[in-house]
Amino acid sequence: MSTIIKEFLLPDLGEGLTESEILDWKVSVGDTVELNQIIAEVETAKAVVELPSPYAGVIYELHEEPGTVVAVGTRIISFELLAEKNTTPDQRAAETSLKFDGEPPKRIPTLVGYGTEVEKSGRPQRRPRSVARVSAAQPLTASAVPLASPKAGLEKTRVRSTPPVRKLARDLGVDLGTLTGTGAQGVVTRLDVLAAAKKPDIAAPDVSLAGEAASETRTPIKGVRKHTAAAMVASAFTAPHVTEFLTIDVTAMMELLAQLKKRREFNGYKLTPLTLVAKALCIAVARQPSLNSRWDEENAEIVTMNYVNLGIAAATPRGLLVPNIKNAQTLNLLQLTSAITELTERARGGKTGPNELSAGTISITNIGVFGIDAGTPILNPGEAAILAMGAVRRRPWEHNGEVTLRDVMTLSLSFDHRLVDGEQGSRFLADIGAILSQPGVTLALL
């Protein structure tokens, strides 16, 4: 039985995303892991994703540190496995061990969710190892390395550390071989290198004036914020935006909400004006389907969807997300309430799945929760319209020939003028306003 090292490459986590940030390792060097055990959390441009282990074995090395943005196809972790000598032909064919006397095999990224087979028998044992050093003429590109006596290069005991720490040691002129690691399983850490070089932590913030706070704070543009910025720029300069505003009396809507909250069916649910606005939008878009369409530049077509994947903009600590509720037009008020609550909670908790962030058809953004009355929302890329709902305010308003205090809200609708004419956009916005002004009448006619 021989010991091999398997490398795991960062997979494409959906929709052709090219990079991810490693947020947190759930394992350490020397840990024994099971197949599909969660080993890390990574943040793509759209969501936080948990990575399952593709192997059962022992963690040999973590190649990237938390906070590092890694390109798809880059090795991020290595596993120590045990391979039986009496493997079947199919198992031997599946092995990707490095051959020093021939052409090395190509790396094939493992995709999360594709499934893997267990590649061990018995419990792996930790012991001192030596690793083959391959010359520059014979680059290491395989995803598995047998720990046997190498045929080329220099045999040397490997100092356990990560690539960023090894680079730091080179930059500071520190010989890792002279250090005793203080990390788990004797891993040489950044602090070990800095201590040997007798330098302060170079990652510390640069404070220009002693005793005073730094005059600037720099935040890397990455992850969700990077994707959102690129998407908004692309949307603003691709789709010709038109925005219309409508201020309406929503006293009847607020009274209906108060009545529904008292009903047993809604106990435990967070029923808000957003639920009724979402329902009104689904009704109105069936009457003005151009608002639920997209521009297909490649095929020179306008595609109108017969379903509503309703996006709900959610402000999260990592930036703006717009997860969507699939087939929202089929849901009643109770189902919409539940779906919106679950969707926004997952988004704020960083648990939104890639599927929830794709294939949206039209969106709502609730700027009223921030005390804002109206604004010009930017279209979610690929969608024809987005509706912004402002704050509900008690204002003097004409009602039944008299001026009295009423609940008033402003709606802002932005739409792509390539897909939606002014008449269609105006009718759509007016329809939503009419539904919210007299929700009882609309629901009675459904």
DSSP result, 41-70: EEE-SS-EEEEEPSS-EEEEEE-S-TT-EE
Q: Is 40 helix (H, G, I), strand (E, B) or coil?
A: strand
pTM above 0.85, yes or no: no
Mean pLDDT of the chain, nearest integer = 78
Band of the pLDDT at 187, cuts 50, 70, 90? confident
Each residue's pLDDT tens digit, 1-15: 677 999 999 988 765
The sign one gets for the Cα dihedral 105, 111, 115, 118 is positive
The predicted structure's pLDDT at residue 205: 46
**Weakest-pLDDT range from 185-194, 204-213, 255-264:** 204-213
Where do we find the tokens 């390395």? Answer: 145
Cα 42 to Cα 11, 52, 241, 246, 343: the distances in Å are 11, 11, 34, 42, 20
Residue 250 predicted with pLDDT over 70: yes
Instruction: For residues 345-364, give the mean pLDDT.
Output: 86
The predicted structure's pLDDT at residue 444: 59
Band of the pLDDT at 230, cuts 50, 70, 90? confident
CA distance 79 to 84: 16
The predicted structure's pLDDT at residue 218: 77
Query: Going by C-beta distance under 8 Å and a sequence separation of 6 or more, which residues neighbour residue 62?
Result: 25, 27, 28, 29, 76, 77, 162
Band of the pLDDT at 389, cuts 50, 70, 90? very high
* Helix-, strand-, coil-residue percentages of the chain, each rounded to 5: 30, 25, 45
The predicted structure's pLDDT at residue 15: 58
**Active-site annotation, residues:** 417
The predicted structure's pLDDT at residue 46: 66
* Top-confidence residue, 206 or 7: 7
CA distance 225 to 21: 12
Q: Are 61 and 78 in contact (CB under 8 A)?
A: yes
**Weakest-pLDDT range from 25-29, 210-214, 405-409:** 210-214
Each residue's pLDDT tens digit, 365-382: 999 999 999 999 999 888
Each residue's pLDDT tens digit, 298-331: 898 999 999 999 999 988 777 788 899 999 999 9
Each residue's pLDDT tens digit, 98-151: 333 333 333 433 344 333 333 444 443 343 433 333 333 333 333 333 433 333
* Top-confidence residue, 284 or 218: 284
Instruction: For residues 233-261, give the mean pLDDT.
Output: 89
